[in-house]
Amino acid sequence: AALGGKLYVLGGITYTGSGKGSPSPRARIQEAMSYDPAQDKWTRLADPPVPVSGWQGAAYGNRHIIVVGGASTLWNDVPFVYDTKADRWMRIDSPLPPGGLFNDSGVCLIGDTIYVAGGEGPGGSHFNHFLVGRIKPCGGSEALRPPAANSAT
């Protein structure tokens, strides 16, 4: 995600071993970093609440990054918010809807509306989901849901 002239890298995965003949063993990363291209400087941030790979973040307002999806020991259905000013993580009360377990999806925010598209699900399945949610700044968020059938999206 990008916000305030910085790039934010939140979590991830690292591969260990040779991987010859079979997939490499992997470990999810419970770290967060920001990169300031104006200073060519990386900064370590507060660790995410769980080691997650494949979640996607989008800037919200001038200080928050909302992250959804991904996988830890289980597929993650809990959205989180990273506060770039306070360097802390918060959990959003509303989980993703049933079936909203996905990894490596596309995420963007326009105003208070979050859009989540596509991704990989448990067992390597791929989805063409398109979910829409409304952020409630003082009270969590409404659950993400598919857009209305008659919407202009």
Q: How far is Cα 42 from Cα 8, in angstroms, rounded to an integer? A: 10
Q: How far is Cα 84 from Cα 8, in angstroms, rounded to an integer? A: 9
Tokens 């409630």, residue located: 136
What is the model's pLDDT at position 98? 54
Between 18 and 114, where is the model more confident?
A: 114
What is the model's pLDDT at position 80? 86
Cβ burial of 52 (10 Å; 0-12, 13-18, 19+) is buried
What is the model's pLDDT at position 5? 97
Question: Domain limits of the chain?
Answer: 2-16+23-134
pLDDT in tens, 34-89: 999 999 999 999 999 888 888 888 999 899 998 887 777 677 777 888 999 999 99
Q: How far is Cα 99 from Cα 33, in angstroms, rounded to an integer? A: 30
For domain 2-16+23-134, the CATH superfamily is Kelch-type beta propeller (2.120.10.80)
Query: Quick one: CA torsion of 119, 113, 48, 103, rounded to 10 degrees?
Result: 0
Highest mean predicted confidence (pLDDT) among 12-21, 80-89, 108-117:
80-89
